[in-house]
C-alpha cells in the first residue's frame, strides 16, 4: 500500500509510524468507514517513509508498506481520535 498527505503539527500517527519503522516493527493500519464503524485492519512492514519540505508553509509525507499476514474486519465502537472529520 502507498499513502501520502500533508504533515500537520504534532500528528501522533506519523510520529508512531516513524518510531515503529525505525524500530523495524510492524504498523497496524485501519481503513475505517466512519459512518458504519466497520474497519479493515492489517499489520504492515513500512518499506519507505519520506518527508518533503518544498517551502516554509507546508510539508508532505509518503510511505509504502507491505501487508504482513491477513486483513481482518472489525466493527469499532467509536472512531479513534484523529480519524474524525471536523
State pLDDT tens for residues 14-52.
Answer: 889 999 999 999 999 999 998 999 999 999 999 999 999
Assigned C-alpha cell, 71: 486483513
pTM above 0.75, yes or no: yes
| Residue 9 pLDDT > 90 | no
State what percent of residues in the chain have pLDDT above 90. 69
The confidence score (pLDDT) of residue 54 equals 85
Across residues 8-18, what is the average pLDDT?
85
3-state SS track over 13-33: HHHHHHHHHHCCCCEEEEEEE
Q: Which residues contact 8 (CB under 8 A, 6 or more apart)?
A: none
Amino acid at each position: 500500500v502507498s499513502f501520502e498527505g500533508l504533515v500537520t503539527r504534532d500528528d501522533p500517527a506519523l510520529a508512531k509510524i516513524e518510531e515503529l519503522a525505525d524500530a523495524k516493527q510492524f504498523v497496524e493500519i485501519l481503513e475505517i468507514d466512519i459512518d458504519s464503524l466497520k474497519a479493515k485492519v492489517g499489520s504492515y512492514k513500512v518499506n519507505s517513509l519520506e518527508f518533503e519540505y518544498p517551502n516554509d508553509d507546508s510539508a508532505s509525507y509518503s510511505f509504502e508498506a507491505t501487508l504482513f499476514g491477513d486483513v481482518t474486519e472489525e466493527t469499532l465502537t467509536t472512531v479513534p481520535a484523529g480519524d474524525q472529520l471536523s
